[in-house]
Amino acid sequence: MQDSAGREMAAAAGPCANIPADHMAFIRQVLDRVGDKWSMLIIAVLRDGPLRYTDLQRQIPGISQRMLTHTLRQLQDDGLITRTAYAEVPPRVEYALAPLGRGLHEIVLQLIGWAADHHDEIRTHRARAGTAPSSSRS
């Protein structure tokens, strides 16, 4: 690994080591889908069981109907959640985690755990970045 162009090699040889170029494509696809602002939150919130549209809206403060509907539809299309509509007089629609979504859910939980453990560190760093003009930032 230490030849003349050692530094370049690090990037080019063992390169992308665990992330082969052909995997890059669907990693991006999956990350684009589940890694957006709301998908993970919806998946996290669905862990206790099926929820109705309004319940989701209540439990995820700040989401708009537009985004709720949109994200639910995407997750449904991807097979991560299921949608069950009951043709009753007061219309009732329940969303639940599909088996596929349950696997992702565990990872989301870890992410949330990580967020819980480190959010104050992040906040500290973020604050310092704003108040520390000493470094290389204009």
Partner DNA sequence: CCGAATCCCATAAGATACTG
Partner DNA sequence: CAGTATCTTATGGGATTCGG
Contact positions with a second copy (CB under 8 A) in 43-102: 44-45, 47-49, 51-52, 55, 58-62, 76-80, 83, 85, 100
| Total number of residues that touch DNA (CB under 7 A) | 25
Which one among 62, 99, 130, 133 touches DNA, defined by CB under 7 A? 62
CB count in 10 Å sphere of residue 36? 14
Tell me which residues in 6-25 interact with a second copy (CB under 8 A): 6-12, 14-19, 21, 23-24
Which one among 6, 14, 79, 91 touches DNA, defined by CB under 7 A? 91
Binding flags for DNA, 14-53, as an x/- string (CB under 7 A):
----------------------xxx-------------xx
Q: Please tell me whether residue 26 binds a second copy under the rule CB under 8 A.
A: yes
- Beta carbons of 50 and 95 less than 8 angstroms apart: yes
- Beta carbons of 45 and 51 less than 8 angstroms apart: yes
- What DSSP line would sit under 39-78, residue for residue? HHHHHHHGGGS-EEHHHHHHHSTT--HHHHHHHHHHHHHT
Determine how β-strand 51-52 pairs with β-strand 92-97.
antiparallel
